[in-house]
Structure 1
Amino acid sequence: MTSSLEDLEQQLVQLRAQLREARRARDTAAVAHIRGELRKVEVAWEHALDVEVAVDAAPGEQQIALRIPTPPGTRGTAPPSRSAPREKRSTQVAVPIREQVHQALTLLGAPASPKLISSAFEAFFGKPLVATKLASLRRDEERSFTAQGYARPYYICAALTHDRLTPTRGLLAVSVWPLPRRIMGPLSPRMDFLTHAIGTAEQIQRLNAAGHPPSDAAWQLLRRFALNIPGAHEDDTLDPARVISAARNEIVVHQESDDTARDSAADRARTQLNEVQQLFGAAPMHNALRDTGGASN
């Protein structure tokens, strides 16, 4: 039986606490074992989240799990009550910005810029994200993690540069993703672009299968990806399956080199960075020099 999201999140909290204690005790065998278990639960948690997002809500509910807005002009068998639209609006407003970003990043499947995150969220969830809130989100998440540790099931964190292990400017990631997936090597921008394309195409396929036609914005987002992937687009025909196939064909070409760069950087990060830095990056060199009283040119 598949564990619920709540059960998996509780397991993540427990395993991370155990990992912290094992590292403090310098028990390398326990650290290795717990890391392996943690990765398994992280994968199961992401799968459970994908299932929850894709499954239709039960008949009679106001909205499905994807929060897909009712298409303009759609009429039901009975007129909605006056309170229903207000209730739906208040539910959407109440969703914290971090959860909205998490939904978009989970859909895209790889670190992404605030602009792309906002575009994906608007395309599939019908509402643009507030840019000013996105600008301060990573700093807020870092402060929260520094103060509370693994109190939350996930954090919106930074993608890390492969060479200096500093935060990559303008790219956000999810803390439960494996460390190599959150590192940007020389080929990673292209690989992540292809991953974004696949995630977008797969979401469109899920919507079609569920009987919820994707929005024009969703198709436009997919087209932007397809135009930059060889073999993904022909004339005016846009087929999600074709985009997925073309993107995966190119991924195979670069996969080994990209994995090597990311894995190598991840190994260095695990030995050189503390838990906070593994999520939010090491301090840039000019900050380190300033903090130690040094000078930089």
Structure 2
Amino acid sequence: MTASLEELEERLTELRARLREARRARDTSAASGLRRELRVVEEAWERALDEEEAAAPDPGEQRSPIHVTTPQEALPARPSRSTSRKKRSTQGAVPVREQVHQSLTLLGAPAAPKLISSVYEAFFAEPLAATKLASLRRDEERSFSAQEYARPYYICAALTHDRLTPARGLLAVSVWPLERRVIAPLSPRADFLTHAVGTAEQIQRLTTAGHPPSDAAWQLLRRFALNIPGAYESDDIDPARVISAARAEAAVHQEPDTAERRAAADRARARLTDVQRLFGAAPPHDAPRDAGGTSS
């Protein structure tokens, strides 16, 4: 571990301790400032970890996950076949929460367990059963409730834009802005397009690095392309074409979707506790949870 990472981790520990003290003292002003500083240091920690992984001499043999904050940043290349066999023989070496984090980071927007599982298997050469994700969000909520911000990130819930309750079946990453985690009426389609761009960009990165994407990765991209006007014209899928078509359609939805999400995020910041902002307000007893839409 580099000195930079050690220093950042020490700073994270210090900030979390100070935040707990501020909350116990009900010093909301200090707590708010510490949360902002904590997010900045967490992002710096993520970047430093990326740099360390990128500098490793043989990334194809490493099993440690790479934590990144945006789908545009480099993700690990697909391992060689020999590495894939080693990983499959030691299935479970990477914790499920970190597998989910890697998939969501690639996708760049809230997603359903089935899609998360498909992405991980396509790009990270290990199986990830969607059934393993059933209790993950609840486990993460219990962990956060017991010791807030003890981890660099949490697998949390997307939130419905109206009631700010958990959007059923959709997982997100805690370090994402609230606006990205809110599901408004146009968000399912907007997020689908974001997923398509993230998938296509990862295929481009692998190709450029000389690591041919798996057949499963191409099949996943084809599924996206078939549902985006102008993205698919032949059996030869062009990632650049998919990205262009997805961004062109996304521009149509962007303004109204962003406005809805921003308004809901502002209400969440004003009304919800820290744990509710990540895992949602309690659903009303007289109404079912809003499905919020799925991406695949």
Q: Which amino acid in structure 1 is aligned with residue 266 of structure 2? A: D
CA distance in 2, matches of 1:10, 1:244: 40
5+ unaligned residues in a row in structure 1: which ranges?
A: 75-79, 289-297
| 1:27 matched residue in structure 2 | 29
User: How far is the alpha carbon of 1:9 from its aligned partner?
Assistant: 5.6
Q: Which has the higher contact order (CA 8 A, sep 6+)?
A: 2
Structure 2 vs 1, CA of residues 101 and 286 (structure 1 numbering), >3 Å: closer, same or farther? same
- 1:79-158, aligned counterparts within 5 Å? 88-89=87-88, 92-158=91-157
Structure 2 vs 1, CA of residues 46 and 105 (structure 1 numbering), >3 Å: closer, same or farther? farther
**Deviation digits for residues 167-220 of structure 1 (CA, Å, limit 9, x no counterpart):** 000000011111111110111111111111111111111111111100000000
Q: Structure 1 stretch 11-20 or stretch 116-125: which is displaced more?
A: 11-20
**Deviation digits for residues 250-270 of structure 1 (CA, Å, limit 9, x no counterpart):** 122111111111111111111
Structure 2 vs 1, CA of residues 7 and 281 (structure 1 numbering), >3 Å: closer, same or farther? farther
| 2:290 matched residue in structure 1 | none
| 2:78 matched residue in structure 1 | 68
Q: TM-score by structure 1 length? A: 0.80
Contact 1:124 1:218 in 2 (8 A): yes
SS at match of 1:172: strand
| 1:198 matched residue in structure 2 | 197
Q: TM-score by structure 2 length? A: 0.80
Contact 1:13 1:150 in 2 (8 A): no
Structure 2 vs 1, CA of residues 47 and 194 (structure 1 numbering), >3 Å: closer, same or farther? farther
**Deviation digits for residues 120-152 of structure 1 (CA, Å, limit 9, x no counterpart):** 000001222123321010011111111111111
5+ unaligned residues in a row in structure 2: which ranges?
A: 65-75, 288-296
CA distance in 2, matches of 1:56, 1:210: 15
CA distance in 2, matches of 1:110, 1:60: 26
| 1:209 matched residue in structure 2 | 208
| 2:187 matched residue in structure 1 | 188
Q: Which amino acid in structure 1 is aligned with residue 26 of structure 2? A: R
| 1:277 matched residue in structure 2 | 276
Structure 2 vs 1, CA of residues 56 and 222 (structure 1 numbering), >3 Å: closer, same or farther? farther
SS at match of 2:234: coil
Structure 2 vs 1, CA of residues 170 and 89 (structure 1 numbering), >3 Å: closer, same or farther? same
User: How far is the alpha carbon of 1:97 from its aligned partner?
Assistant: 0.6
CA distance in 1, matches of 2:7, 2:233: 45
Q: Which amino acid in structure 2 is aligned with residue 221 of structure 1? A: L
SS at match of 1:192: helix
User: How far is the alpha carbon of 1:68 from its aligned partner?
Assistant: 2.9
Q: Which amino acid in structure 2 is aligned with residue 281 of structure 1? A: G
Contact 2:42 2:152 in 1 (8 A): no
- 1:168-179, aligned counterparts within 5 Å? 168-179=167-178
| 2:293 matched residue in structure 1 | none
Q: Which amino acid in structure 1 is aligned with residue 115 of structure 2? A: L
Contact 2:140 2:154 in 1 (8 A): yes
Structure number with greater Rg is 1
User: How far is the alpha carbon of 1:249 from its aligned partner?
Assistant: 1.4
Structure 2 vs 1, CA of residues 25 and 268 (structure 1 numbering), >3 Å: closer, same or farther? same
Q: Which amino acid in structure 2 is aligned with residue 24 of structure 1? A: R
SS at match of 2:61: coil
Contact 2:121 2:128 in 1 (8 A): yes
**Deviation digits for residues 83-116 of structure 1 (CA, Å, limit 9, x no counterpart):** x966x55655221110111111111111000000
SS at match of 2:157: strand
- 1:7-26, aligned counterparts within 5 Å? 11=11, 14-15=14-15, 21=22, 24-26=26-28
Q: Which amino acid in structure 1 is aligned with residue 28 of structure 2? A: R
Contact 2:158 2:181 in 1 (8 A): yes
Structure 2 vs 1, CA of residues 24 and 248 (structure 1 numbering), >3 Å: closer, same or farther? farther
CA distance in 2, matches of 1:6, 1:243: 40
Quote the RMSD (CA, aligned, Å). 3.2
Contact 1:226 1:233 in 2 (8 A): yes
| 2:264 matched residue in structure 1 | 265
Contact 1:56 1:64 in 2 (8 A): no
Structure 2 vs 1, CA of residues 201 and 44 (structure 1 numbering), >3 Å: closer, same or farther? farther
SS at match of 1:27: helix
SS at match of 1:154: coil
